[in-house]
Structure 1
Amino acid sequence: MSVQDLQAELEKAKRQVVTDGYEMSLGEIASLYKSDELIIAPAYQRLIRWEESQKTRFVESILLGLPVPPVFVFQREDGVWELIDGLQRISTALHLMGVLKVNGDLVEPLVLSGTNFLPSLEGMKWSSSQAGDMNVFNTPLQLEIKRARIRVEILRKESDQDAKYELFQRLNTGGSKLSDQEVRNSVLVMLNENFFKWIRDLSVKPEFKDTIQLTSTQEELAQDNEMVLRFVAYRRAPYTKGLDVNEYLDLAARKLSALTVEDLADEAEIFNWTFELLWKTFEGEAFKRWDGTRHSGRSMLAAFDVIGYGVAENRQAIMDMPNDVHRQKWLIDKVHALWKNQTYSNYSGQGVRGTTRMANLLPFAVEYFKP
């Protein structure tokens, strides 16, 4: 490699990303949103993650004239903008002005709380149906908020199709409060919204939910979606040794989003069969540690990977067993014995890196669950 090679790569990369940008008022942004020329898709991120105090501080910053970080949009072929980054700021402004909608319905008006700088913000709102309500912004304050300006960075439609996905991931990693899978979900929506919906639909299947038994916090961070993605990725996008786990799942998500309707139907059938069998056999205990007498604790991700993938890959041979009784007894014995297996123990502990775990346990899973 040389400096010339680097310069050539840089020039090529720059041609793949075509950007533009300018200052806009919040009033102009609200007008674009109301006319469906600005889309803030709830599926990109959990729609509103800010607490009331965070929303109030943002409104306070606007009133004080403090600088607001830029937002990023992608310009579609039809000219409509998709919000890529800045959802919390833009949704708060729209919520304050009373125009924010979720699933087609207007959100309840935003009522602000007091702050150290502006304690009189307590109880303030944009408008009120009650005559004489004193906690309502007057026209000058409304205009001040509407005229507040924010820079909009535009990723134009001429950009390489992967550019918006890369931009979103880079903007929403590091200091972001989004989980890796929430960022990945947003990318999936951009890649193929039907594939994202397919994953989401599988994640709410009763047998799956009752088998993985996630906490409410884990579900909020979209871990159920990640586990569906893992299950399909292992089968359709084999893991490359050395890849960081999240990097692997990012690459797999892009590849899987191109699966045909027929491919997805096949995968859904295998997914449903696997988790119906595991639920019928273990009633929610399949991925919990077995101590020789009972299952206990929480479901473990390593157990999910090995058991789910191993059973799915050996589906036909397991289906060929004489009957359900024989099938379930065999599966119980294999899962119970897994917790004493040396290979599983060596690569499933907390100190084992994700790359090492996957490189060793995925091939092991296929062999271990061969009848």
Structure 2
Amino acid sequence: MSLLKELDEAKREIIKDGFDMSVGELIRIYEREEMVINPVYQRLYRWDESQKTRFIESLLLGIPIPPIFVFTSEDGRWEVIDGLQRLSTIFEFAGVLKDGDGKIKDFFIPSGTKALPSLDGLKWDAVNPDEKLPLSVRLDFERSRIRVEILKKESDEKTKFDLFERLNTGGSSLTPQEVRNCIMIMINPAFFNKIEELSKYPAFVNINLQTEKAKLEQKPIELVLRFLAYRYKQYDRSVDINEWLSSVVYDMSKDEQYDIDSEAEIFKRTLSVLEKSAGQDSFKKYDGTSFSRNFLISSFEVITHGIATNIDIYEGHNTKYIVDKIKGLWQMDDFIKYAKAGVTASTRLINTLPNAARWFS
């Protein structure tokens, strides 16, 4: 097939339409609940004050804004695929943004403005005239226009998934896991809820020594997904780990035969065994004398995969046996060689995961 034909077919799959809309129209659509911003998505809404302020300034100055992408749901409402942070900032500035419980959030008040210093401290609506955004400025803001690209409901779910992933990776403010979270919510909300529940399992929380930054970027959920994905499908060395993981997450979310409850139980049993034995040392490096203080993804992958595969055996062993097995892992040249810094994720995975079950047999 020629490149031109491939392009033609690929473009046909993305059935979309688009037009410019005023900010005021978008606000009214949101107020009428004809636009859906999934409450879970709002957990990813983490622009800081300066980012919000710069965006509001840009709209007032007439600086071109990237388009918003929405998907037309079965009931005709728009579901935001890309543009969450921009739309949420607009709605919060106008005092209409709702939180996860459906309550209206406080107005966003710009601060630290650069191009429009007089905008500092002004509120969309206020009793004190000196604190209130002038009507003329508010009208200009509402008349600002943003391009809205609409993915129609005729487009299949896979197209919706692919579009979302492409729009939110590569230079995006969302991390790969945050993108995967949104994808799971789109495809199978119940599946996402189960994964999120596992990320809060006490034994996992107690020994998963992640930094606050890692937690903010949804790393605990990523670790749960890695555990499940490695058991669901063998890693394909030909693709990047993030690309592979996103693909497997899509497959698991759509697989009606996938027994998430059974796999969740194995996850809990595995982490409970580790909490009772090695505890917070479970995923640290062992230097022959003591465990270091840092969490290592290479340890997590191999240890959890190996123990999960042999979970019936490990639940019957004493603490010393399990700790000795973990220490022994760090004496194996085949593991150390690929667990060290500088080794790519793909190289590490194809050389360690296939051996995990045997190393912990």
What is the TM-score with the length of structure 2 in the denominator? 0.95
Task: Identify the residue that residue 24 of structure 1 maps to in structure 2.
Answer: 21
Amino acid at match of 1:52: E
Are the equivalent residues in 1 in contact too, given 2:252–2:258 (CA < 8 A)?
no
Amino acid at match of 1:168: F
Match of 2:333 among 319, 335, 342: 342
1:39 aligns with 2:66: no
Deviates most, 107-116 or 192-201: 107-116
Task: Identify the residue that residue 81 of structure 1 maps to in structure 2.
Answer: 78
Task: Identify the residue that residue 312 of structure 1 maps to in structure 2.
Answer: 308
Task: Identify the residue that residue 47 of structure 2 maps to in structure 1.
Answer: 50
Stretches of 4+ aligned residues off by more than 4 angstroms: 259-262
| In structure 1, distance between residues paired with 2:318 and 2:239 | 35
Secondary structure of 2:277's counterpart equals: helix
Instruction: Provide the identity percentage.
Output: 44
| In structure 1, distance between residues paired with 2:257 and 2:33 | 29
Are the equivalent residues in 2 in contact too, given 1:210–1:279 (CA < 8 A)?
yes
1:91 aligns with 2:88: yes
Are the equivalent residues in 1 in contact too, given 2:278–2:322 (CA < 8 A)?
no
Question: What is the Cα deviation at residue 262 of structure 1?
Answer: 7.4
Secondary structure of 1:295's counterpart equals: coil
Question: What is the Cα deviation at residue 329 of structure 1?
Answer: 2.2
Task: Identify the residue that residue 135 of structure 1 maps to in structure 2.
Answer: 131
Question: What is the Cα deviation at residue 114 of structure 1?
Answer: 4.3
Secondary structure of 2:96's counterpart equals: coil
Task: Identify the residue that residue 290 of structure 1 maps to in structure 2.
Answer: 286
| In structure 2, distance between residues paired with 1:246 and 1:69 | 25
Match of 1:250 among 246, 250, 258: 246
Deviates most, 138-147 or 70-79: 138-147
Are the equivalent residues in 2 in contact too, given 1:44–1:187 (CA < 8 A)?
no
Task: Identify the residue that residue 11 of structure 2 maps to in structure 1.
Answer: 14
Match of 2:260 among 253, 257, 264: 264
Change (3 A) 1:279 1:92: same
1:124 aligns with 2:122: yes
Are the equivalent residues in 2 in contact too, given 1:207–1:275 (CA < 8 A)?
yes
Change (3 A) 1:346 1:45: farther
Are the equivalent residues in 2 in contact too, given 1:63–1:144 (CA < 8 A)?
yes
| In structure 2, distance between residues paired with 1:369 and 1:114 | 56
Task: Identify the residue that residue 106 of structure 1 maps to in structure 2.
Answer: 104
Question: What is the Cα deviation at residue 48 of structure 1?
Answer: 2.6
The alignment's C-alpha RMSD in Å is: 1.6
Please list every run of 5 or more consecutive structure 2 residues that lacks an aligned counterpart in the other structure.
none
Amino acid at match of 2:357: V
Please list every run of 5 or more consecutive structure 1 residues that lacks an aligned counterpart in the other structure.
none
Question: What is the Cα deviation at residue 318 of structure 1?
Answer: 2.9
Secondary structure of 1:24's counterpart equals: strand
Question: What is the Cα deviation at residue 99 of structure 1?
Answer: 0.2
| In structure 2, distance between residues paired with 1:368 and 1:144 | 66
Task: Identify the residue that residue 203 of structure 2 maps to in structure 1.
Answer: 207
Count of aligned positions = 360
| In structure 2, distance between residues paired with 1:249 and 1:21 | 31
1:226 aligns with 2:217: no
Are the equivalent residues in 2 in contact too, given 1:72–1:84 (CA < 8 A)?
yes
| In structure 2, distance between residues paired with 1:18 and 1:358 | 38
Question: What is the Cα deviation at residue 294 of structure 1?
Answer: 2.2
1:351 aligns with 2:348: no
Match of 1:333 among 308, 321, 324: 324
Question: What is the Cα deviation at residue 97 of structure 1?
Answer: 0.6
Secondary structure of 1:99's counterpart equals: coil
Match of 2:141 among 104, 128, 145: 145
